[in-house]
Copies of this chain bind each other. A is one copy, B any other.
Amino acid sequence: VNTEKNIVIIGCGASGGTAAQFARKTDRKTSITIFEKNGYSQYSKCGLPYAISGIIPQLDNLIEFNEEWFKKQNINLLLNTIVEKIDIKNRIVTAKKANTAIEKSYDSIIICTGAKPFIPPVKNINVEGVYVLRSIDDAKKIKSFIKKGKNAVIIGAGLIGLEMADNLYKMGMKITLIEAFPEILPNTIDKDMSEIIYRDITKKITVLTNHLLTNVESINGKISKTIMKNKITGNEEKIPADLMIIAAGTKPEVLLAEEIGCKIGNTGGIIVDEKCQTSIPNVYAVGDCTEYKDFVLGKPMLVGLGSIAVRQGITAGVNAAGGNHKLLKGFLQTSTSEFFDWEIASVGLPSKYLGDKNILSGKFNGSSLPEYFPGGKPITIKLLVDEKDGLILGAQAVGDKAAQRINTFAAAILGGINVETMRKLETAYAPPIAPTLDAVTLVCDIVSMKIERKNR
């Protein structure tokens, strides 16, 4: 009689691979099987833009844990295997690899089906030269279309759109970046912050905000032009395009979860609790296919960051293997990126998504070093604070060590430190490293003074 537990994991992305790894760490004996529909084991999706430009030399370098590794961990990884059905009554997963049907009984199942790219509903879009960037296979196609002096159009000026723009620009392509919002990075930072970058990058590439993709022209089945519409003027514009990349967001892939009755939230993601459990017993879900509470707002939002997916993977993996691990009560949405020599980072949501909160905000713009020390770099931090209690709702940084500075605000949010206390944070000071009062506390000063003025 086999008394070992069976864990079945669907999808070997960052969340699925991590879940397997932590299930194994929690229980050395449990049987772990991963079904992955594509032909690659766990790799870094976020690294794809850099492997396309060659900063990361080979696409294969992105594979963080190869098949060998999973084998050594006694994890049964089946690539090119599509899960067709989950029978929750008899606890059996049915999958197909090539033409062979596979049946696997389970005690726990972890759904890590990720997200699929949002494709604008535009005619003629299914032509050669139009790609999304979600997989190594996508990257391979894009890589074959890179040519110095040729035109690349990127749809969506979010983090991935800007990373692709930078990497293709470095390869010598002429870039047009299209964004439907009035600003770049609309889902990451406020417009006054993204404008710092906008002003600079428009010297190097064409950026069209307030523009929508309306059509694609092709010659012999290959893209030749992108047709855009200005949302304000209604004018149409044709832009030559040898390559078009769609980076216009994603939609959670929840088909399997829906079929077995997992509750889906209003965001379209699978509802999970702090243990990553779905509404169906013994079924966990993690990563981009799920929604979870935002720490600050307390309301569910789609998971869209690799860092969160990995943390969910840890939680689900530990719990599925019989351990006990809980997520924080919400996610902080800490994120960062770098493009065109700008480091940006943020924690929490941009102002426009903070709903009915009464926001007091302040912005500090200064140097990373004391004035008298050579080599200081610009750093701008914007802080969003709840007028009611001074609690920090979010922070956005552009410039020197933006990510690590934002991590400090992430800790402040996590610890419930209000802005009045945070302004007194004793930051590390040394002339070659940071000023006596770091930008981190100076931006708190600015907001605190606004609060004082209000309360006078």
CB pair A411–B415 under 8 Å, yes or no, is: yes
With beta carbons under 8 angstroms apart, the residue of B327, B334, B373, B374 that contacts A427 is B334
Q: Which of A219-227, A279-287, A431-439 contacts B (4 or more CB under 8 A)?
A: A431-439
C-alpha gap A428/B403 in the complex (Å)? 6
Closest chain-B Cβ to A21's Cβ sits at a distance in Å of: 12
Assuming the contacts A403-B433, A436-B310, asked whether A428 and B334 have C-beta atoms less than 8 A apart, the reply is yes
A239 within 8 A of B: no
CB pair B47–A426 under 8 Å, yes or no, is: no
A410 to chain B: which residues have CB within 8 Å?
408, 425-428
Extra contacts, 9 of them, besides A310-B436, A411-B425 (Cβ < 8 A), are A61-B372, A64-B371, A335-B430, A336-B430, A338-B433, A404-B404, A404-B407, A404-B408, A409-B411
Closest chain-B Cβ to A420's Cβ sits at a distance in Å of: 10
A218 to chain B: which residues have CB within 8 Å?
none
Interface on A for B, CB 8 Å cutoff?
14, 44, 46-47, 50, 55-57, 61-64, 159, 305-308, 310-311, 327-328, 331-338, 343, 345, 347, 370-374, 401, 403-412, 414-417, 421-422, 424-434, 436-438, 440
CB pair A429–B336 under 8 Å, yes or no, is: yes
With beta carbons under 8 angstroms apart, the residue of B308, B328, B422 that contacts A421 is B328
CB pair B434–A403 under 8 Å, yes or no, is: yes
Q: Can you give 16 A-B contacts (C-beta < 8 A)?
A: A47-B431, A55-B432, A62-B372, A159-B430, A307-B428, A307-B437, A311-B424, A328-B421, A337-B430, A345-B433, A408-B411, A411-B412, A412-B415, A414-B415, A414-B422, A414-B425
Interface-central residue, A343, A407, A424, A426, by most chain B CB under 10 Å:
A426
A437 to B, closest residue via Cβ = B310
Closest chain-B Cβ to A448's Cβ sits at a distance in Å of: 11
CB pair A332–B430 under 8 Å, yes or no, is: no
CB pair A338–B430 under 8 Å, yes or no, is: yes
C-alpha gap A233/B106 in the complex (Å)? 68
A62 to chain B: which residues have CB within 8 Å?
372
Interface-central residue, A46, A50, A63, A372, by most chain B CB under 10 Å:
A372
C-alpha gap A345/B414 in the complex (Å)? 22
A64 to chain B: which residues have CB within 8 Å?
370-372
Interface-central residue, A44, A374, A401, A436, by most chain B CB under 10 Å:
A436
C-alpha gap A405/B337 in the complex (Å)? 17
CB pair B429–A307 under 8 Å, yes or no, is: yes
Closest chain-B Cβ to A439's Cβ sits at a distance in Å of: 10
Closest chain-B Cβ to A336's Cβ sits at a distance in Å of: 4
CB pair A332–B401 under 8 Å, yes or no, is: no
A440 to B, closest residue via Cβ = B407
Assuming the contacts A374-B56, A414-B421, asked whether A46 and B14 have C-beta atoms less than 8 A apart, the reply is no
CB pair A433–B343 under 8 Å, yes or no, is: yes
A427 to chain B: which residues have CB within 8 Å?
307, 334, 403, 407, 410
CB pair B431–A332 under 8 Å, yes or no, is: no
A305 to chain B: which residues have CB within 8 Å?
429
With beta carbons under 8 angstroms apart, the residue of B335, B373, B425 that contacts A56 is B373
